[in-house]
């Protein structure tokens, strides 16, 4: 989808938005007032240039014909392509915040992360106010977490996912937590310490942030909720933390965000 800019009618903040949000109600990232995303302004074509318009109906027809041909031939890989598309987008467009690029890799439709040198976050270029981020996560030894509304490596919110039976002596039962990080100092807003999956098992982690509200779901069940106004918007990402004694290896797949 194309992106365009408009001005918040309440505080006059300039906002860049994807055209798919036209007509939807959002909270302004600056003043947090509820606003309706206006229609995308028309694109002005310079004189003498030719414009080619492709109707959505034609695209849908072409997609259906293409899918039918593949299914007739007994090929179902098109389904895998669309399922993994957001994960490919993350890998192509997001970049490390802290750590280095060699701590992140992509293979088999999954993003892999490794650290023995502290925190590393793979973050979006775009900032989000209200957001939904989800992924199938897995760790072999420590954690597979999210980061949202990050201002920089030391300021934002962390959604920590640490399964049970890790080698870390401080975590035997596993936990999920919403952490606020300010100037590098972490404060736990709320945590979930009930029975968790063990390391090596996959889980679906999802965070929904609307204004001050931050909700975390695990395998489709709401487990955490917190309200905090410190950070209204920022970049989103995938986060791990490891050290030489207790390294971290994590895998992320089926990533979706908006």
58 located within any domain: no
Q: Does a structural domain hold residue 146?
A: yes
Identify the CATH number of the domain in which residue 171 sits: 2.60.120.560
Range of the domain at 184: 93-257
Q: Are residues 101 and 22 in the same domain?
A: no
Pair of tokens at residue 236: 């989103």
Going by pLDDT thresholds of 50, 70 and 90, the confidence category of residue 67 is very low
In a domain, 119, yes or no: yes
Indicate the SS3 state at residue 229: coil
DSSP 167: S
Is 70 exceeded by the pLDDT of residue 237?
Answer: yes
Extract the runs of DSSP E, i.e. beta strands, from the chain.
3-7, 14-18, 25-27, 34-36, 95-97, 104-107, 110-115, 118-128, 131-139, 145-152, 155-162, 175-182, 185-192, 203-210, 213-218, 221-227, 234-242, 248-257
Banded pLDDT at 47 (limits 50, 70, 90) = low
Q: Are residues 149 and 239 in the same domain?
A: yes
Looking at the fold, whether 101 and 178 belong to one and the same domain comes out as: yes
For residue 116, tell me if it sits in a domain: yes
Residue 192 has which token pair?
A: 């979930």
- If one counts every other C-beta atom within 10 angstroms of the C-beta of residue 3, the result is 12
Which tens digit of pLDDT belongs to each residue from 220-231?
A: 999 999 999 999
The answer to whether residue 42 sits within a structural domain is no
Is 147 in the same domain as 215?
Answer: yes
Q: Judge if 139 and 240 occupy the same domain.
A: yes
Task: Report yes or no on 81 lying in a domain.
Answer: no
In a domain, 88, yes or no: no
Q: What is the pLDDT of residues 14-27, one digit of tens each?
A: 888 777 778 777 77
- Count of structural domains, the chain: 2
> Residue 46's pLDDT band (boundaries 50, 70, 90)?
low
pLDDT exceeds cutoff 80 at 62: no
Instruction: Kindly report which listed range (43-57, 70-84, 86-100) carries the lowest average pLDDT score.
Output: 70-84
pLDDT digits (tens, 9 = 90+) for 87-103: 888 999 999 998 889 99
Shared domain for 27 and 107, answered yes or no, is no
State how far the Cα of 32 lies from the Cα of 213, in Å rounded to an integer: 12
125 and 251 both lie in a single domain: yes
Question: For residue 238, what pLDDT is reported?
Answer: 98
- The verdict on 138 and 205 lying in the same domain is yes
Is residue 237 a part of any domain in this protein?
yes
Is residue 232 located within the same domain as residue 131?
yes
The percent of residues in the chain predicted with pLDDT above 90, rounded, is 55
101 and 201 belong to one structural domain: yes
């Amino acid at each position: 989808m194309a992106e365009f800019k408009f001005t918040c009618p309440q505080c006059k903040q300039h906002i860049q938005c994807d055209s798919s949000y036209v007509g939807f109600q959002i909270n302004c990232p600056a003043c947090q007032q509820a606003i309706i995303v206006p229609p995308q302004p028309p694109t002005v074509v310079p004189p003498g240039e030719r414009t080619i318009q492709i109707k959505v109906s034609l695209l849908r027809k072409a997609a259906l014909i293409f899918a039918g041909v593949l299914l007739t031939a007994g090929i179902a890989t098109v389904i895998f392509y669309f399922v993994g598309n957001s994960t490919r987008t993350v890998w192509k467009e997001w970049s490390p915040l802290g750590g280095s690029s060699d701590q992140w890799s992509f293979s088999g439709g999954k993003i892999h992360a490794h650290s023995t040198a502290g925190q590393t976050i793979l973050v979006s270029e775009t900032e989000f106010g209200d957001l939904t981020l989800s992924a199938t996560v897995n760790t072999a030894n420590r954690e597979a977490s999210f980061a949202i509304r990050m201002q920089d490596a030391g300021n934002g919110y962390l959604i920590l996912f640490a399964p049970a039976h890790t080698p870390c002596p401080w975590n035997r039962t596993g936990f999920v937590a919403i952490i606020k990080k300010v100037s590098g100092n972490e404060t736990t807003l709320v945590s979930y310490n009930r029975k968790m999956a063990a390391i090596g098992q996959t889980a679906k982690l999802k965070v929904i942030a609307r204004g001050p509200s931050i909700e975390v779901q695990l395998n489709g069940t709401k487990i955490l909720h917190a309200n905090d106004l410190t950070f209204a918007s920022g970049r989103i990402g995938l986060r791990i933390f490891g050290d030489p004694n207790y390294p971290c290896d994590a895998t992320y797949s089926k990533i979706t965000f908006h």
